[in-house]
Amino acid sequence: MDGPQPSGSAGPAASPAPPSAARTASRSQREQPTPGGSVMQTPGSVMRGVSLQGGVPGTGLRGLAFSSQPTPASLRRPDLGGHYVGFRLPPNSAGRRTSLAPSDSVPLSSDAMDGEADQTYIWGTNLSVSRVQARFNAFVRTFKEAGTDDEPKYMRLLQETRARAEVSFNIDGQHMYEFDRTLYNWAVTYPAETVPIFDGQLAAISAELEGCDPEECQVQSRIYNLRETKVIRDLNPADINKLISVSGMVTRTSGVIPDQSLALFACTQCGQEEISWNDRGKVNEPSKCPNAACQAKFAMQMVYNRSAFLDKQLVKMQENPNEIPEGETPHTVSMFARQDLVDLAKPGDRITVTGVYRAMGVRTNPRLRELKAVYKTYIDVVHIQKDEASNMFSMFAAEETQESQEAPADASALAADAPDMQNPSALLHTSNMTREEMQARRAVFEELAADPDIYDRLAASVAPSIWQLDDVKKGILCQLFGGVSKKLPGAKTRGEINVLLVGDPGVSKSQLLSYVHKLAPRGIYTSGKGSSAVGLTAYVTKDPETREMVLESGALVLSDRGICCIDEFDKMSDSARSMLHEVMEQQTISVAKAGIIATLNARTSVLASANPVGSRYNPNLSVVDNIQLPPSLMSRFDLIYLLLDKANEATDRKLARHLISLYGNGVGRLGNEADVIPADTLRDFIAYARATCFPALTPEAANELSRQYVEMRSMGMSRKIVSATPRQLESLIRLSEALARMRLCNTVSVDDVGEAVRLMKVAMQQSSIDPRTGQIDMDVIQTGVSAADRSMKAQLVGELRSLLEARAGPNGLRIADLLDTVNAQASVRVSERDLRLALAQLDDVARVQQGVVTLRA
């Protein structure tokens, strides 16, 4: 299975594709503790063991001022793991005191970027705090996105964040880089120092805007979208204590751990209180009462409800499968998520994390305090971005929006419309792709689409190792690109195209299926034989942990917006098949089990393959007789192809040449390598087309469609058979839309319609020919009985009636005898089944008992 598994407890709401391709981290729904209101909150200001006590008066006292309730402060960032000391700071650094100037000491309107007199430096660097403040200030106050309105973006966002009473404030690293490369470099190189300064500045700015105390304006800056996103195996010691961005898949999350950030101790003897900060993961209990008068030993007791705790969670992330070189195993990295980032990522999610890479000494024996020679590495998470886009069909975000709005001309403008996303490049945002690469990708796609031979090239690129079957491949190609689903008032029409392949064993049906399954992300491959109704749809199960009933999606729901490949369709159980009726037309699945009633989206294209009854295709029977699928299901397939194994000298030679060279020197010679688009590119191209291109019918194309449709119908009219139905018309529209999509063209041309009609005729010619008349007859598909058949059956009933009346005596006639008699008379051979069916219609006059037909009295 290629796609990420949804977590086991995926509820109805979680199963369909999330509405946006990349959700940013802040959980706006989650209520943030208001400052001063709760005990579980951001505590006072101590940063990475750098004491503030020697600093500027007013801030240095903050910790001491704490007496009754913990006071929140702006400079502490627990999510940077403030209480774990990075090894880069030698232990004696605590002795060297560094002050961070209070944010309000810098004139907010300062435009002299570096010329500030207050030269307070970040420890170990020549980086002055005031310079960072000034530059960040300028960034927030003046940054505007290229080509947008005059209001500075982050000022607006800050106001919005404050209005929503949120704490997390996302800053696009790309924006910061565009605006001020130095500032960006500082943020990446010294995150633990600069980020708290940013927070202070944000608080100060919002305080200025709202006219209140900065202490009450808690904002935490969360930088994301760094210029470089690494894979886990590329992390190296040089990244330690830097701000980094890595992508991967979450494999495990721990429970929420209360992380004590400060402890309040009270003397049991005299009531004197003492605060102890969490220092490097440890809270030191005072052994002696600090009260000079008391001095009682071991009398200090922790007061839990006046200590402060933070949520903390350990998350493990593993490399994405596509980032692992061949012959290697995936690497993992541990991460600490804190506060509102807790529980944001679930096992199975693909995420891109921005955070500070840390290394911590490991004590192999906890009794010993010395750091051993080995380090444990982890990331203190600053920002989590869920990354659905590594999966092609999730790029449907654009399409999703499109369904509610009218189709916009440019999809990138569409993504920019979403205000909360802050990420105009959400489209095509795969795990590690920069904007430039994305532009390059787009250019490649546009160039591909402009190729006049694109249709043939695409067809040649589908399963290039499979021979012939060009029209089948074209049909599958249409399925991959898909039509546009439309929402009419009160009704929805599907855009998904369903294809059925019927054919002899060994004509590479399964290969085609597995190829499509690989090409289509969210492609699910199941075998009809092995899958029960449960496997194909959603089922109810009991969560082993919570003991709650949960819905677990099956193949069809899992392939929502994808392609569900069902092999051995004919072997599927009836109950599973009946589920498909709903899926293939309404694109939903209804589940009513164990008290849970739900309708799940299953916007799935179905690609099914079936073997004929008796495993070899009998050319004397119709398709329906050959596969024996219910006609109601058959009619839901837009295209039905017959794959028959026919010997053809020319193609055999070509195949032989290919195989010989494959076994000889290792390179298969298909003869068309130059034209073949590599599978990766093809996959992305399809995703891109589906996400950005929504073709509409031109009036000419619409006219052509109706003309062709009328022609197809009238073909049948003349012979009193139906050769086209409204379902076929819908199929034709979908096919022509898919064909336009291949060219990334927003209009369906007359040529597209022509090709769609041709494709359908080819498919139908093979499958809906009435073997007796050699004509196309939609009735074969629609009802399973051709018009010729039906008239023949009517004749048979008449014949039988007269026959029975003439021949059947009081003892009746044996069926076998009757069959012989009928066959002796008739020009066409009548089967026993046909005879029995006819007899059933004669129920009013004849009765069948133990193989003997008697006339009713």
Partner 1 sequence: MEAITSPLEAVRSLYAARPAGAAGDDCGVRERFAGLMDDPAFAAQVPVLTEETADLLPNQCLVRYRGMVADMLNPEYYVGEFRRADGSWATAKYADQLDEAVPEGAETRIAERRPLLLVPVPAESPWAAAPRAAAARASLAAVAGAGAAGAAGAGKRARDGEVPAAANGAAAQEEDVSMGVSMTVSDATGQTTTADDGDSGASRARRAAAAGPQEVASGGGGSAAAPGADLPAGCCMAYLYDDREVKLNDIVEVVGVLSRVPELAAAHMQQQEGGQASSMLLDDILASHLPTSKAPRLHAILLSAVRAEVEAAAPAMPAVAEARARALGFLSQVLGGDDVAAEYLLLQLVARVHHRTAESAVGTLALNLVAEANSPAAAAQQQQPRQQLSQLGAALAAALAALAPRCLALPLSVPALNARPWWPRRDLNTQRLVGGPLQLAANTQVLLDETVLATGTLNEVGLRNLAALQHLMRAQKVAYDFEFFSLEQPADAPVTILSLGKSLLKDTVGVALPLRPTAPLADAAAVASAAGGANLAPLRAYLAAARTLDFSIAPDMEQFLQQELAGARQKDSGVNEQTFHTWMNLARLLALSHGESGLTRERWAGMRALEAARSARLAPQAAA
Please, which of residues 246-265 interact with partner 1 by CB under 8 A?
249, 251-252, 254-255, 257
Segment interacting with partner 1, rule: CB under 8 A, options 166-174, 208-216, 332-340, 596-604: 332-340
Provide, rounded to whole angstroms, the least separation between the CB of residue 260 and partner 1: 13
Site string for partner 1, 410-429 (x = CB under 8 A): --------------------
State which residue, 376 or 581, has the beta carbon closest to partner 1.
376
State which residue, 616 or 758, has the beta carbon closest to partner 1.
616
Provide, rounded to whole angstroms, the least separation between the CB of residue 32 and partner 1: 24
Provide, rounded to whole angstroms, the least separation between the CB of residue 252 and partner 1: 7
Tokens 């400052």 label which residue? 35
State which residue, 144 or 683, has the beta carbon closest to partner 1.
683
Which amino acid is it at 574?
Answer: D
Could you tell me the CA-to-CA distances from 233 to 236, 301, 617 in Å, in that order?
A: 8, 46, 53
> Virtual CA dihedral for 491, 492, 497, 502, nearest 10 degrees?
-40
Output the CA angle 853-854-857, nearest 5 degrees: 155
CA 57, 59, 64, 66 torsion: positive or negative?
positive
If you count them, how many residues does the chain have? 857
Which segments of 718-777 does DSSP mark as H helices, in order? 726-742, 750-767
CB 74 within 8 A of CB 200: yes
Subset of 737-776 contacting partner 1 (CB under 8 A): none
Site string for partner 1, 202-241 (x = CB under 8 A): -------------------------------x--xx--x-
**Burial of residue 741 (number of CB atoms within 10 Å: 0-12, 13-18, 19+):** buried
- Give the C-alpha separation, 390 to 411, whole Å: 18
Subset of 620-649 contacting partner 1 (CB under 8 A): 645, 647, 649
- Asked if 8 interacts with partner 1 (CB under 8 A), we say no
Provide, rounded to whole angstroms, the least separation between the CB of residue 342 and partner 1: 13
- Asked if 545 interacts with partner 1 (CB under 8 A), we say no
State which residue, 266 or 324, has the beta carbon closest to partner 1.
324
- Give the C-alpha separation, 538 to 590, whole Å: 9
- Asked if 110 interacts with partner 1 (CB under 8 A), we say no
- Asked if 532 interacts with partner 1 (CB under 8 A), we say no
Provide, rounded to whole angstroms, the least separation between the CB of residue 328 and partner 1: 6
Provide, rounded to whole angstroms, the least separation between the CB of residue 660 and partner 1: 5
State which residue, 331 or 442, has the beta carbon closest to partner 1.
331
Q: Please give the size of the binding site for partner 1, defined by CB under 8 A.
A: 71
- Asked if 615 interacts with partner 1 (CB under 8 A), we say no
State which residue, 234 or 625, has the beta carbon closest to partner 1.
234
Subset of 459-478 contacting partner 1 (CB under 8 A): 465, 467
Contacts of 299 (CB under 8 A, 6+ apart): 267, 268, 269, 289
464-469 long-range Cβ contacts below 8 angstroms, 24+ apart: 464/670, 464/672, 464/676, 465/511, 465/668, 465/670, 466/508, 466/511, 466/512, 466/515, 467/508, 467/651, 467/654, 467/655, 468/648, 468/651, 469/508, 469/512, 469/643
CB 28 within 8 A of CB 169: no
Out of 56, 108, 324, 676, name the contact with partner 1 by CB under 8 A. 324
Subset of 484-523 contacting partner 1 (CB under 8 A): 506, 508, 511, 514-515
State which residue, 378 or 445, has the beta carbon closest to partner 1.
378
Provide, rounded to whole angstroms, the least separation between the CB of residue 375 and partner 1: 4
| Distance from the first to the final alpha carbon of the chain | 65
CB 735 within 8 A of CB 754: no
Site string for partner 1, 648-687 (x = CB under 8 A): -x--xx-xxx-xxxxxxxx-x----------x--------
State which residue, 236 or 287, has the beta carbon closest to partner 1.
236
Site string for partner 1, 348-387 (x = CB under 8 A): x----------x--x-xxx-x-x--xxxxxx---------
3-class SS string, 134-188:
HHHHHHHHHCCCCCCCCCCHHHHHHHHHHHCCCCEEEEEHHHHHHHCHHHHHHHH
- Give the C-alpha separation, 415 to 422, whole Å: 10
- Give the C-alpha separation, 319 to 247, whole Å: 7
Provide, rounded to whole angstroms, the least separation between the CB of residue 28 and partner 1: 28
- Count the Cβ atoms, other than its own, within 10 Å of residue 366: 7
State which residue, 253 or 692, has the beta carbon closest to partner 1.
253
State which residue, 259 or 638, has the beta carbon closest to partner 1.
259
Subset of 263-322 contacting partner 1 (CB under 8 A): 314, 316, 318, 321
State which residue, 19 or 90, has the beta carbon closest to partner 1.
90
Subset of 72-91 contacting partner 1 (CB under 8 A): 87, 90-91
Provide, rounded to whole angstroms, the least separation between the CB of residue 239 and partner 1: 10
- Give the C-alpha separation, 272 to 270, whole Å: 6
State which residue, 179 or 467, has the beta carbon closest to partner 1.
467
Which amino acid is it at 437?
Answer: E
